[in-house]
Structure 1
Amino acid sequence: MKAPKNRRVFVVGYGAATPLGTTFEKTWERAVKGDTGFQKVSRCKVNSLSNVVGEIPGWNPESLDFVDRKEAYNWNADFVILTMAVCREALGRAGLIIDRHTGPKTACLIGSALNGTDAFRIAMNNYIKKGPFKISPYLLPNLCANIPSGKAGMMLGFTGPVFSPQGACASGNHAIGIGSRMIRDGDCDFALAGGVDTCIMPEIIHGFANMNATIKIVEGDRAFIDPGQASRPFSIDRKGMVLSEGCGVLVLAAQEMIKPYGLVPRAEVAGIGWTSDAHHFTLPNPDTIKLAINQAVDDAQIQPGDIGYVSAHGTSTPKGDATEIDCLRFIFGRHIEHMPVSSNKSQIGHTLGASAAIEAMLGIEAMYKGLVLPTMNHIPDPGLSDIDVVPNKVRRHNYEFFLSNAFGFGGTNCCVIFKGV
């Protein structure tokens, strides 16, 4: 094999659809205002106390100019069309035109935790009520993890490698890491990297509730009156995550490609660390989380004290949040007392495979503009009193590096360090 080119990799654009908005611009506008995107579930009926979720507002595939009724009917796994729309937004925001020169050198890596589960649900309903001949011939493609990337390529014209990094809730960071390595080594010049999940359906909502992962909202809880307060990472009364849908895609580019194509770098991918727990399918392993963070710091060739902010995984679970903070204390020592640590999940909930990608771009945009986004809905926890979680309000803050953490079911960890430009 050829020797790697050892090229530097930059983020030059991004697109998103989240509970705060159908585009990155709308998401960012509401994020800096301190809005949250939670409500009682409207996409389906559930019989659960975990009935507050994050839905993409106004999401309707048929409202998109490239989708007609037949296309929406055939591709009924929402993660397919959603990925196509967000990839198009990301390329547009980056200003990267796909043509005969850039197309073959552009990869697309979109991870997902649950893939086309919604399409399978529709097929099973048709099978039970109407019989086997009413199962769509598009069912199997709708279930394939690589199809969102492939369909985006069919629409947008890139012909580089397309596949889906499957890292559960760390998938977005895995996509960024793999895409960056591919560009660094010379396999491609550009990469669309991110994650997507469209998970608001009864079986998934009840499944998370039954494993005590999501918050159960009873009378007397502050989210009973105001669903917007359901996700509260690092708070004394955190009780579980809020399940959300979403998609986030970052455009990565080799440094040598930025000037020739008139691109504007927003941040550099400075360091990547990835480990697995070999411990438990949901409970975190502090030792391997620490190792992943240390790997990212070492890969960036910096010291822990150079990190100016941490975008925490911060799911709003009692044990998960406490474990992550303990790991940060171990890595950063006394520096943590002067380093903001906040969780975007307080505003958008847990978008599963999309979460790390969305959180990366929010962190990059904030760093680019000299800000840190807050941890909303915060009520102090005495056990975390040494941590500056940026409570309830965006803050001015200048820094050169930030760490973005992501951990997933199955014990998969991926941490990425971004450097400002």
Structure 2
Amino acid sequence: MSRLPIIAGFGGYNAAGRSSFHHGFRRMVLESLDEKARQETLAGLGVMTHIIEADESGFKSKDGGGLTLADIESQFGDEIMQATLIRRIEKSYFDVDAAPWQQSVTVGPGSSGTSFLLSRFQLPKTIPASWTVTDYSDSHVSVHLADNCDVKIDSTRNVDVKSAGQLPTGFDPAALYSSRFHPRGLQMTIVGVSDALQSMGIPWETVKSSVHPDEIAVYAGSVMSQSDENGFGGMMQSRLKGGRVTAKQLPLGLNTMPADFINAYVLGSVGTTGCTTGACATFLYNLKQGIEAIQSGKSRVVIVGNSEAPITQEIIDGFAAMSALGTYEGLKKVEGTDEPDLRRSSRPFGENCGFTIAEACQFVILMDDELVVELGAQIHGAVTDVFINADGFKKSISAPGPGNYITLAKAVASAREIVGDESVRTRSMVHAHGSSTPANRQTESELLDRVAETFGITDWPVAAVKAYVGHSIGPASGDQLIAALGSFKYNLVPGIKTIDQVADDVHQQRLSISVSDISKQQIDVAFINTKGFGGNNATGVVLAPVVVEKMLAKRYGKDVMTGYKARLNAVIETAEAYDQSVLHGNFNITYNFGTNMIDDASLTLSESAVGIPGLDHPVTFKKESRYTDML
């Protein structure tokens, strides 16, 4: 029997806020929630953004006055909402109206020549041919300029890309733990995976002691590496800025470093580790590794995720040069106004002009079904398949191609085999890539429509959460997956509220693309669809908890599931206590720097196992039987 990869915990952060307990999802469907859920979501975001304060006694205004949930909504609701989702790039990143840059200018000598003074310490080792250098003082020299000289001067420029999906205003991952010299992407990794672990409601040490050390795996990374000043960005800029490269910038800039940080500073894991990148499909690439590791029995617990912090001038310049990003001028034309609404810059399946870049970190914790039952773990869903296919020969490396037809059709066919034709036709939904480019709205909608026709699906609900949180590159399909878990919980498909209507060239004969939230009686399966530059197409199949529970009941029987339910109650209670703790400002970050390190000399080696000090189980060697018929 194949082991079922079940999502036992999830967490992270994006422009909608905290992912665990569906808080980020609830921000997207705020208008459709009941009063308690809506107000609790606003309160949590208010604490994250420091608009309000909180402690164990409750919520407070900055002047110390007590606040009820109703007070928070009425007094601070609008301000809290404005501090979330896509919005104008904040100056803590850079000033989009006056972004610093080095402007090249040519300086020429005047009619009688030009001279200037220069510190001896700043005198170039190679003197330009047009310079004549003479002594001026002990500390300076005089330079006579005989010909033109190219120099760079500090200046500013207007950046036409002015919006992004940023973490909630005022939420600073670096302030939550000892993060010295960590690039922002790694800061987000630490706080994101901490959120996912705590959401389980089961202490990590309990999980760790329940399996062998090499039955734990981590698949995580980033597409754009760590590109700020503490990573590759600083390393590549240092000499040009007249500075020096540090010893940390190169190693911390590696795109595999999120997995390394999780193993070394959060889990203390000696299990399998890795990172597969596939442009915008990267999260699903790593998810495929995770589910296959569980299905094969090689791993029993897998942490899958990505963290990306691409809101830098350089990365924005790169995407803008490809005409991929929505610009201020483009939005003015789309909206027919001189002052476009930057909060509506991401417009999937509507009149649009490019995608909106974003930062995010998203992580899911997968367990095999046997371990879930044994530990009483929560069931948020199960991932049965991720299909990946390339596009064949291409003329443009960034253009869409046929690979996504293969992945989506495979995914729908696979789900139909598991849950049946009726569930797929009437109780499934699609989380579209929905990048907000004119090409995507045509090609992906045609793809969805044709696949729906092939499998007899009508009114297929389509969500496109990039409308809310933007395009986070590596974690983008993680944003989609986390939102799908919210749809399972609340039976709501988020509408695309940044558009007034679906564009005329969108294929939607068999699709339900709505500008408001869609309420469903039940959702059994969600398809996570993503397209990446270069032909990196992927589609995942995610089953709802109601389906997974039926599958487990059939596999394990009534008595075993009764015991599971009893254990589950205690787990949920612990998890909910964590949720309330974070709502009141205690983020419970796990960061173990230099603690409980393993002494190599203390390992015990035998012909059958490696014993590791401090771990309950050894790493055992499996008997090799795969190739006995060939020898």
**TM (normalized to structure 2)?**
0.61
Select between 81-90 and 393-402 the one with higher mean Cα deviation. 393-402
State yes or no: 1:357 paired with 2:467. no
State yes or no: 1:72 paired with 2:180. yes
State yes or no: 1:127 paired with 2:239. yes
Give the aligned partner of residue 497 of structure 2: 376
Select between 329-338 and 209-218 the one with higher mean Cα deviation. 329-338
Runs of 4+, deviation exceeding 6 Å: none
Which structure 2 segments of 5+ residues have no match?
32-80, 97-157, 546-631
Opposite residue 86 of structure 2, the aligned amino acid is: F
Give the aligned partner of residue 322 of structure 1: 442
Q: Equivalent residue of 2:224, what SS?
A: coil
Among residues 382, 396, 403, which one is paired with 2:527 in the alignment? 403
Q: Equivalent residue of 2:191, what SS?
A: helix
Spell out, residue by residue over 1:187-240, the C-alpha distance to the aligned partner (whole angstroms, 9 max, x if none). 1111111222100011111211121111112346548342111111111x1111
Among residues 57, 63, 75, which one is paired with 2:175 in the alignment? 63
Opposite residue 503 of structure 2, the aligned amino acid is: D
Give the aligned partner of residue 358 of structure 2: 244
- C-alpha distance in 2, partners of 1:61/1:338? 41
* 1:79-90 equivalent positions in 2, closer than 5 A: 79-90=185-196
Q: Equivalent residue of 2:174, what SS?
A: helix
1:156 deviates by 2.3
Give the aligned partner of residue 232 of structure 1: 347
Contact 1:272 1:296 in 2 (8 A): yes
State yes or no: 1:213 paired with 2:324. yes
Q: Equivalent residue of 2:382, what SS?
A: strand
Opposite residue 9 of structure 1, the aligned amino acid is: P
- C-alpha distance in 2, partners of 1:381/1:201? 31
Among residues 9, 13, 18, which one is paired with 1:17 in the alignment? 13
Opposite residue 403 of structure 1, the aligned amino acid is: F
Give the aligned partner of residue 366 of structure 1: 487
State yes or no: 1:156 paired with 2:206. no
Query: Aligned in 2, Cα 1:51/1:254: closer, same or farther, shift over 3 Å?
Result: same
Query: Aligned in 2, Cα 1:267/1:153: closer, same or farther, shift over 3 Å?
Result: same
Opposite residue 298 of structure 2, the aligned amino acid is: D
State yes or no: 1:143 paired with 2:253. yes
Among residues 379, 382, 386, which one is paired with 1:272 in the alignment? 386
Contact 2:284 2:538 in 1 (8 A): yes
Give the aligned partner of residue 293 of structure 1: 408
Contact 1:215 1:230 in 2 (8 A): yes
State yes or no: 1:337 paired with 2:458. yes
Query: Aligned in 2, Cα 1:183/1:377: closer, same or farther, shift over 3 Å?
Result: same
1:398 deviates by 1.4
Q: Equivalent residue of 2:364, what SS?
A: strand
- C-alpha distance in 1, partners of 2:503/2:251? 47
Spell out, residue by residue over 1:312-370, the C-alpha distance to the aligned partner (whole angstroms, 9 max, x if none). 00111111121111111221107443211120011101011011012101112211322
1:264 deviates by 0.9
Give the aligned partner of residue 111 of structure 2: none
- C-alpha distance in 2, partners of 1:209/1:312? 23
- C-alpha distance in 2, partners of 1:89/1:241? 28
Give the aligned partner of residue 594 of structure 2: none
Spell out, residue by residue over 1:2-60, the C-alpha distance to the aligned partner (whole angstroms, 9 max, x if none). xxx62111111111210121454542231121676112212113432221111112342
Give the aligned partner of residue 398 of structure 2: 282
Opposite residue 115 of structure 1, the aligned amino acid is: S
State yes or no: 1:390 paired with 2:514. yes
Query: Aligned in 2, Cα 1:103/1:357: closer, same or farther, shift over 3 Å?
Result: farther
Query: Aligned in 2, Cα 1:273/1:137: closer, same or farther, shift over 3 Å?
Result: same
Which structure 1 segments of 5+ residues have no match?
none
Contact 2:425 2:458 in 1 (8 A): no
Spell out, residue by residue over 1:149-170, the C-alpha distance to the aligned partner (whole angstroms, 9 max, x if none). 1111222223321211111110
Which is bigger in relative contact order (C-alpha 8 A, separation at least 6)?
A: 1
- C-alpha distance in 2, partners of 1:399/1:12? 19
State yes or no: 1:45 paired with 2:95. yes
Q: Equivalent residue of 1:330, what SS?
A: helix
* 1:99-114 equivalent positions in 2, closer than 5 A: 99=205, 100-101=208-209, 102=211, 104=213, 105-114=215-224
Query: Aligned in 2, Cα 1:306/1:194: closer, same or farther, shift over 3 Å?
Result: farther
Give the aligned partner of residue 415 of structure 1: 539
Query: Aligned in 2, Cα 1:103/1:147: closer, same or farther, shift over 3 Å?
Result: farther
Contact 1:374 1:395 in 2 (8 A): no
Q: Equivalent residue of 1:44, what SS?
A: coil
Opposite residue 85 of structure 1, the aligned amino acid is: V
1:407 deviates by 1.2
1:284 deviates by 0.5
Give the aligned partner of residue 260 of structure 1: 374
- C-alpha distance in 2, partners of 1:327/1:284? 11
Contact 1:45 1:202 in 2 (8 A): no
Corresponding pairs, count: 407
Contact 1:328 1:336 in 2 (8 A): no
1:394 deviates by 4.9
